Structure 1
Amino acid sequence: MNSRLIAARALSRVLQDGQSLTAALDNVMPTIESVKDRAFVQALCYGVCRYYHRLDFILSQLLDKPLKDIDVKCLALIGLYQLQFMRVKPHAAVSETVAAARKKPWAKSLINAVLRSYLREQDRIEQQADQEQSAAISHPHWLIQQIQHDWPQQSLQLFLENNHQPPMVLRVNLARTSREHYLNLLTERDISAVPVDFCISALRLDRPVPVDLLPGFEQGLVSVQDTAAQLAAQLLDVQPGQRVLDVCAAPGGKTAHILESQPQLKELVAVDIDAARMQRVSENLQRLTLTARLLVGDAANPEAWWDGQTFERILLDAPCSALGVVRRHPDIKLLRRAEDIAQLQSLQKNILDAIWPLLAPDGILLYATCSVLKQENEQQIQAFLAAHSDAAQLPIEASWGSGREFGRQIFTGESAMDGFYYARIIKR
């Protein structure tokens, strides 16, 4: 089947059905035999999502009226993406995209006309796109306004970073090997990487590689995890003999890192509301030969699963807008809505309030999100501290991120990291 048509069908699931790009690609990838074709389909889908707001504006300038057929619209966007951002030869991009319309003669002629018009008028249309804010930076208007409101000085850089492809970062399993030794293993395979100076387990690759090329991956020597997410384990500062609770744990990267960083825990309990995602936690731990007690349960309703024994450490990786990882999941710009933020803020508050009684006196709760919005981060923690007289903030002194009155914020792209937020709270 035409790889552009496969990409268009995956994008249709995102645009029309609200499916995540990851799920949409998981659905179509088994139908593609060639590794090269799979990579091409992935590049098209991620690229169109990343630059959707610009491409959609350009398409609107080339049409007399909006396209109702979503598959055809996706093909047109794929064609425009190839012409503007990829190294595909223009004649091949046009002819192959037109051919993907297959049994719809009207669509073939329309896509052909749109793409050829773009090639003729490219400079003029690109200038028009640069004048329209959402198209110029390829973000929805509501998100532009929100980020500019929260971070007027950093907003432009955040928008630029959101449109960049992220680096691939490895977490070396320090319970099994040293970072220096693993760096040597990479060098032997001509995989270039650099250590991250403020995170003892992190190696950032010069360019992404398939995980099956990573030495010792299947044996558990290494995992893929952004540097910002790796900071959680060292901030939690777990000690031998402690009980640790990981709330909203799936897919389990931080769960595994906590176990790697402190093999002498009394117990680690990982909880997530999604049974399918909890299965991924189990698979990750199996690969790394690590053990935790895995529970499927609602973090906002712990009485349904808690055994009554308190924990000395709790990691709450709170459900959030994920606006700090847009560069990894550009479909967030298409799927997230302004009204989602208040709902997530309410959910975060409910979980914080529900989980707090599970923390032992003098215990530490680490609150984390992969968001850059103040509502989900520092404002959430400010409100929590005001409402709980037995809670106090533990300042985070670090060379990374930006210290806030409450917690510490990492901006997307800062030190090549994803956007993240952390706050440490101790129970008096």
Structure 2
Amino acid sequence: MKASTLRADIARTLFQVLEQGHSLRELMPALQAKHKEQDRAWLQEMLYGVLRQLPILQYWLRQLLNKPLKSNQKVIEHLILLGFYQLAFSRVSQHAAVAETVGACQELKCPGLKGLVNACLRNFIRQEMQDKQPDDAQIRSGLPKWLFKKLQQAYPDKLDDLSQAMNSKAPIWLRVNQARVNPSEFCQALDEQGIQYRVPDDKQPALILSKGYDLTQLPGYQQGWFAAQDGAAQQAATLLAPQSKDRVLDACAAPGGKTCHLLELQADIECLALDSDATRLQRVEENLQRLGHHAQVICGDAADPSSWWDGKPFDRILLDAPCSATGVIRRHPDIKWLRKGTDIPPLVELQRRILAAVWPMLKPGGTLLYATCSILPDENREQVKQFLANHPDAVLSPLHAQDSTDNPGWQILPGEGQMDGFYYARLIKS
């Protein structure tokens, strides 16, 4: 496929994300299927790159484009942003970046704008725009205004490191399925195939791949030797610590990574995997099958137990609540632009409702682990403080020395120990 067609498809996808609110999760499968395998990694690198660097790219665009483009020509703005990204942040030669990006105008049915795109890109090179950094800290951070302000408030001393981590490329973590293979045997199989990886310092059966690989081609994929799961998400099952014969609820379970990990730690638990999204529950079924585990999979709303619960209480509940996903932006950069500040209060309210609904299903003496992949205090520390204040039978079970009712839980920030941003709080029913 022509290089200009590749760029046209990227510009079209950027337009669908930024102007129409579609997520890469829904757009990528069809886009990847359209292109040859050797082009897919480059395509993803460009898409993710533009979304990571969007504020600075738009800052340069405002200086080089006299007036915004309208209606069906708007996609050309996204093409120019892609051109800037290639020139400032990639290894693409200047000649190819200009020629192929200009050529994409034909594919985007805007041949009359070739001159405009050419002028923008050539002026970018001539004026050495990549050296012109804005004074505005928010633009330099690569974050949307609403999120920049929230993080500035919550983490004033860590803001630069945080924004840098959120705009970096996330490593691929694997969790070794010890029900199927010994970690040292798995490492040996990787070594034999020349797969580069490193083992983190702690005792988790985890690996970090040194570069991107097609996971389905790694040794033991079909046999269920491993699952892709970030180091922060791998903490959930360990912190919940299911015991033999426990009845365990994994609320909001899709895509099932934590369900499988719970069963790897304790094969004889009675595990119920619940999610309200029937399509995503298929992923839970697939993961359970590939990794060789069994759980009862139910489509239902965690906030409305009367519609699915049999009345039998649980020893342990994992509540990985719906959230802003601000902790996994480095993995899904489109989240920055799809999520709005106005989304946070309704999410906080939904989390509150689910917490209140699942708590009565927990046995006295039972453990609930509240988790989110967010780094916003409203969804995490403040949510748990409020819950403890409203539920006298809930007792905080500390996860570290500073974990207290005034500052409950464990907040992992993006990049910490190479992990995603995640939050955990463990509660015992007295």
Shorter chain as normaliser: what TM range?
over 0.9
CA distance in 2, matches of 1:140, 1:23: 22
User: 2:379 aligned to 371, 376, 379, which one?
Assistant: 376
Matched-pair contact (CA < 8 Å) for 1:55–1:135: no
User: 1:385 aligned to 355, 365, 388, which one?
Assistant: 388
The answer on 1:345 being equivalent to 2:348 is yes
The answer on 1:38 being equivalent to 2:40 is yes
Match of 1:190 in 2: 194
For 1:331, give the aligned amino acid. Answer: D
Matched-pair contact (CA < 8 Å) for 1:172–1:221: yes
For 2:242, give the aligned amino acid. Answer: V
Match of 1:421 in 2: 423
Matched-pair contact (CA < 8 Å) for 1:268–1:293: yes
Write out per-residue CA displacement over residues 107-134 of structure 1, whole angstroms, 9 at most, x where no aligned residue.
Answer: 21111111111001124x642x331223
User: 1:214 aligned to 211, 218, 227, which one?
Assistant: 218
CA distance in 2, matches of 1:179, 1:403: 32
For 2:41, give the aligned amino acid. Answer: A
For 1:272, give the aligned amino acid. Answer: D
User: 2:171 aligned to 167, 180, 199, which one?
Assistant: 167
Name the SS for the 1:360 alignment partner.
strand
User: 2:59 aligned to 54, 57, 60, which one?
Assistant: 57
CA distance in 1, matches of 2:21, 2:265: 38
The answer on 1:257 being equivalent to 2:252 is no
CA distance in 2, matches of 1:368, 1:13: 31
Matched-pair contact (CA < 8 Å) for 1:199–1:230: no
The answer on 1:48 being equivalent to 2:50 is yes
The answer on 1:332 being equivalent to 2:335 is yes
Match of 2:147 in 1: 143
Report deviation, 1:199. Answer: 4.3
User: 1:111 aligned to 111, 117, 123, which one?
Assistant: 117
Note the residue ranges of structure 2 that are not aligned, 5 or more in a row.
none
CA distance in 2, matches of 1:348, 1:162: 24
Write out per-residue CA displacement over residues 292-333 of structure 1, whole angstroms, 9 at most, x where no aligned residue.
Answer: 111111111111000100100100001010111110001111
Q: Which moved more, 1:409-418 or 1:133-142?
A: 133-142
Match of 2:101 in 1: 97
Note the residue ranges of structure 1 that are not aligned, 5 or more in a row.
none
CA distance in 2, matches of 1:181, 1:403: 37
Matched-pair contact (CA < 8 Å) for 1:236–1:313: yes
The answer on 1:18 being equivalent to 2:21 is yes
CA distance in 1, matches of 2:105, 2:423: 45
Write out per-residue CA displacement over residues 364-420 of structure 1, whole angstroms, 9 at most, x where no aligned residue.
Answer: 00000111111000110000000001100000138xxx8562011101100100000
CA distance in 2, matches of 1:54, 1:62: 13
Within-5 A mapping of 1:348-363: 348-363=351-366
Match of 2:157 in 1: 153
Identity across the alignment (%): 47
Report deviation, 1:22. Answer: 2.0
CA distance in 2, matches of 1:66, 1:57: 13
CA distance in 2, matches of 1:178, 1:154: 39
Matched-pair contact (CA < 8 Å) for 1:11–1:21: no
CA distance in 2, matches of 1:166, 1:148: 22
CA distance in 2, matches of 1:403, 1:225: 25
User: 2:31 aligned to 25, 28, 32, which one?
Assistant: 28
Matched-pair contact (CA < 8 Å) for 1:11–1:24: no
Within-5 A mapping of 1:125-144: 126-127=131-132, 129-144=133-148
User: 1:408 aligned to 407, 410, 427, which one?
Assistant: 410
RMSD over aligned CA atoms reads: 1.4
| TM-score of the superposed pair, with normalisation by structure 1 | 0.96
Report deviation, 1:232. Answer: 0.4
Match of 1:70 in 2: 74
Question: 4+ runs of 1 displaced by more than 3 Å?
Answer: none
Name the SS for the 1:130 alignment partner.
coil
Q: Which moved more, 1:93-102 or 1:182-191?
A: 182-191
Report deviation, 1:30. Answer: 1.7
The answer on 1:299 being equivalent to 2:305 is no
For 1:162, give the aligned amino acid. Answer: M
CA distance in 2, matches of 1:126, 1:134: 17
Report deviation, 1:183. Answer: 1.4
Equivalences, count: 421
Q: Which moved more, 1:183-192 or 1:381-390?
A: 183-192
CA distance in 1, matches of 2:191, 2:329: 31
Write out per-residue CA displacement over residues 243-280 of structure 1, whole angstroms, 9 at most, x where no aligned residue.
Answer: 10001111111111111111111x11111111111111
For 1:318, give the aligned amino acid. Answer: A
CA distance in 2, matches of 1:361, 1:197: 36
Name the SS for the 2:284 alignment partner.
helix
Name the SS for the 2:175 alignment partner.
strand
Matched-pair contact (CA < 8 Å) for 1:320–1:370: yes
Matched-pair contact (CA < 8 Å) for 1:238–1:262: yes
Match of 2:326 in 1: 323
Q: 1:49 to 1:199 in 2, by over 3 A?
A: farther
Match of 2:367 in 1: 364
CA distance in 2, matches of 1:10, 1:94: 19
For 2:218, give the aligned amino acid. Answer: L
CA distance in 2, matches of 1:191, 1:238: 33
Match of 1:234 in 2: 238
Name the SS for the 2:285 alignment partner.
helix
Write out per-residue CA displacement over residues 7-61 of structure 1, whole angstroms, 9 at most, x where no aligned residue.
Answer: 11211211122111121112322221x1111222111111111111111111111
